[in-house]
Amino acid sequence: MLEHVKMSLLADYYGGLLTEHQLKIVRGYYDEDLSLNELAEETGVTRQAVYDILRRAGDKLKDYEAKLGLVSKITCLISRIETVMVSTDTKTAQTLREILDEVKEI
């Protein structure tokens, strides 16, 4: 998985555990593709501070995933549901699709 996509996904699941300032910088960098300089100007800190915040917040997000494993578990579950959907009848596939939509909302 690409690092940007992985970090964005981790922020989706664990972003609430970061400070508001950390989350703003993580979202800006990974979701909005802002540069370190742009984030520094926007948040009123130095480029080095933005870099440090990104590194520390990224380490926290990776640590949460290593301990809790929500992203990998849900990704695996989605994959399994999609596999079963292909080989089932229409009514069952529709039920699985509804379940899959609920899982993706988590």
Q: For the chain, what are the domain ranges?
A: 3-68, 71-105
Residue 76, pLDDT score: 87
What is the spatial distance between Cα 14 and Cα 79, in angstroms, rounded to a whole number? 21
pLDDT digits (tens, 9 = 90+) for 9-46: 999 999 999 999 999 999 999 999 999 999 999 999 99
Helix (H, G, I), strand (E, B) or coil at 34: coil
Per-residue model confidence (pLDDT) at position 1: 58
| pTM exceeding 0.85 | no
Q: What percent of the chain is predicted at pLDDT more than 90? A: 64
Predicted confidence (pLDDT) at residue 88 exceeds the cutoff of 80: no
In this structure, CATH architecture of domain 3-68: Orthogonal Bundle (1.10)
C-alpha distance from residue 62 to each of 2, 8, 54 (Å): 14, 11, 12
